[in-house]
Chain A
Amino acid sequence: MIDLRLKIDPLPIVEPLVIRLRNEPQNCQTEHDAVLVDTEGTRLEYDYNGFSFGLHRQDDENFDGDVILALPGQRIAHRLIRSKSPHNTFLVTEQCDQLCVMCSQPPKKHHADLFSQFALAASLAPLNATIGISGGEPLLHKERLFSMVETVASTRPDIRFHILSNGQHFVTEDIRRLVAMGTERILWGIPLYAADGLTHDRIVGKDGAFQNLQRGLGILIKAGASIELRTVVMQQNKDRLSDLANFLFTRLSCIDVWAIMQMERIGYGRMNWATSFHDSSADFTQLARAIDMSAARGISVALYNFPLCSVPLQYREFALSTISDWKQKYLDICEACGSRAACGGFFEWYSHKEGFAGLGAL
């Protein structure tokens, strides 16, 4: 597991500080760049506009191009952007208005607004980067979120965003702004768990969520937004997947992709694992039907977070390697596997005792 936090020497700051780390002085293009001046064991010394600060590394990590966030009084810096990784996500809030049974990031009441810092960090990202925006529910702070995207779009039109949202908070007035931000710039990752309100609402822990979501999706459709529809498959909804496939075909053919996802065993997902995890290696029937119904009718469908060996051979082409590098692991059985390079493996917090029954090296 890659630690997304770095130990730093305390900085005399009163405001959160965003810094891009560079190895060579000629690569320092902005006032936010700090250049590496000395390496002593595990301590790296940087020059930041004439001030020096120290950063402690494990292993032989190279931070060139990375963007970190330092907070006042903390000896920890957050690695907002790892320049060599495609998996960079900003956790913009921990507040949420849903309580999903499989949530990997359970909500908290408190919110610290760091949107300005995130906007700055995004503007320091490598060329053509896609930055994930996650929560909590980012749209609880819609105005701040939208202005962050607009700010970045104006200075860094090459940067794209992948925003995970429950889709509950769009209003008709947003359409113009969504269009102006650019429908290719943002991929909206929106969860939908069933084609019926009762099942969906029960899974997300909010009455009326399904109704509200349909309205929100309607607004995104009108705006021509790019949509990744996300469905975590669980015991609660696995038998309704074909109804959902039909719902997507008739209502939501415009989506870019339907992501059918495996659970992540952390947060509420860990708490509810026994009552929610669906072992798709033992029973793939409903998933197979959902894929068959969708792919035949031109809906692009993909399996996220499914180890390749858990998927029947003829459906393996739909399984993408989607687990972020920093929380990805492989098991002992993966040692002998020839498909490891194409396989996303497992979440760091996956427990094989309670996991897939039917795995094996390919």
Chain B
Amino acid sequence: MTVFPLKFRQTADGDVLFCDDAGGFFKSDDAFLSRYAHDQFTADDDAFLLRNGHAFEEVGDVAYSGFEYRFASRLYAPGPLDYIILVPTLRCNLACGYCQVSRVNENTPGFDWSNQTLEAVLSFLGTITAPKIKIEFQGGEPTLRLDILSTVRDFCRSRFERCEFVVCTNLQDVSDEVWSFLSLTDVYVSTSLDGDVSTHELQRTFKSARTAQFVENLDAAIARLGNGKVSALPTIDPRRPPEPKSVIEAYTSRGMNSIYLRPVNYQGFARKRYDARASSSAWNAYHSSFIDELVEFNFTAEVPAEEYYFVHCLRRILRAGHNGHVDLRNPNIVGHGYVVIDHDGKIYPTDEARMVSRVGQFDLSMGDVFTGMTMATVDALNEEASNNFHPDCVHCTYQAYCGIDLVDDLSRYGRIDLPKDQTDFCQRHLALFDKIFAMIYSDDPKIRKSLAIWAGVPSFDASIARCHQ
């Protein structure tokens, strides 16, 4: 019998958590660790490891190929290009203190697509071979250029079998024409509600009349379009976060039960104003308390709620192949499945890459819509975009569940070779995975109820949290 390599980490309660490269895990103790280190497994140890997929008898037996499959399906392989983020204008009618996407004032000329850019974007879209497409309009405030949105939509509907359009709008000033566009069956709305209404005013609208106008539009959007077509993100300043309870109330009372907490992003103009670099511990503490509050909420709530990223990470622990989020993939191959087209027609592999380039740190563009895509920069980036052989990650218990975000590293530190445990990405994810495992091994009925909901099962079976003495 051969045991697949095990990595281990002491847990807060003094046990030792063991994980393997395919994402299998169990808890044991120092005595087992010592037997592992000294090659002194008992027959009982052997039987446990073999039964639970941590060992095999012969290369090619089902224990071996089952492990191979679970390992391989955790790796992300990009599909064909079928998701395009478009930035038709950088102009915006709000000036949020943390604006992550870089914006200019509503009346500044020269930051919209020209007619030539629009034409070149359409011909670029025309080269896409996938049968379906998802277009996300970002900005700036994209509804300032409703004419462009309509032209792009018309083009896509004539070109692709299936289309989906997401408008990332602040819902601040919504004209009748914009309402008509947002009401179309293939159009979805993504907006911002920064926690609760008072935080929203503090961070985004500044004046109560503007706040009231937004809230009215948000509620109208949910009423008119249905909450299935409206999603909202709260951007949280970890130094001044809103009470978790009030965020949960603000969202669930509107029927928005998936809440995706975003820390203020240390990029674009945000970094001029906030010291987000050292904020990961504050963020981790807030995020953890938010999850605790959700657990309380779900215990009695008729309709449960979730924090989107926490649930994503939980499912990545439990399952292979859960690669649906661009922020957490391994290898994190960029510039293939989706790209971003900026206000000047330049193409970027991710939205963050666009911002890193805009503030002049690095040029992460990959050509433009006029001359076509160039892959040299993203190819170079993608060569490093795997955690499998990274000298820090190979020792990490959570390697199989985690990902890598080189653009984030570049943006924060100007380099990708910082020891991983000093990066914000690593610190945030270590804390997240610690929290999730503490919950998986908890026997608190409130926690188990939320875990079942978040894992999508009637009941969270205790045997998933395997232990071995």
Contacts and interface: CB of A to CB of B under 8 A. Distances in A.
Interface of A: 214, 217-218, 221-222, 242, 246, 249-254, 288-289, 291-293, 295-298, 314-315
Contact of A253 (B69, B452, B461): B69
Interface string B448-464: 00001001111111011
A249 to B, nearest CB: 7
Contact of B463 (A218, A222, A242, A315): A242
A-B CB proximity, top 6 nearest: A250-B53, A298-B319, A251-B66, A314-B458, A292-B461, A296-B455
B25 to A, nearest CB: 11
B458 A250 contact: no
A298 B318 contact: yes
A222 B65 contact: yes
28 contacts: A214-B62, A218-B61, A221-B62, A221-B65, A221-B66, A221-B69, A246-B463, A249-B53, A250-B63, A250-B70, A251-B62, A251-B63, A251-B66, A252-B62, A252-B66, A253-B69, A291-B458, A292-B457, A295-B455, A295-B456, A296-B457, A296-B461, A297-B318, A298-B318, A298-B321, A298-B322, A314-B458, A315-B458
B318 A296 contact: yes
A319 to B, nearest CB: 13
Nearest to A294: B457
B70 A253 contact: yes
A253 B73 contact: yes
Contact of A295 (B24, B321, B457): B457
Contacts of A242: 461, 463
A95 B322 CA distance: 43
Contacts of A249: 53
B464 A296 contact: yes
Contacts, number: 79
A288 B315 CA distance: 20
* Candidate in A217, A221, A253, A295 with the most chain B CB atoms within 10 angstroms: A253
Given A253-B66, A291-B457, 20 more contacts: A214-B62, A217-B62, A218-B60, A218-B61, A218-B62, A242-B463, A246-B51, A246-B52, A246-B463, A250-B51, A251-B63, A253-B70, A254-B73, A292-B460, A292-B461, A293-B463, A295-B457, A296-B460, A296-B464, A298-B321
B135 interface: no
Contacts of A291: 457-458
B133 interface: no
A296 B318 CA distance: 7
Contacts of A298: 315, 318-322
Contacts of B322: 298
Nearest to B69: A254
A305 B291 CA distance: 40
A252 B68 CA distance: 10
Interface string B58-85: 0011110111011001000000000000
A130 to B, nearest CB: 23
A250 B24 contact: yes
Nearest to B73: A253
Contacts of B458: 288, 291-292, 314-315
Nearest to B54: A250
A280 to B, nearest CB: 15
A103 B464 CA distance: 33
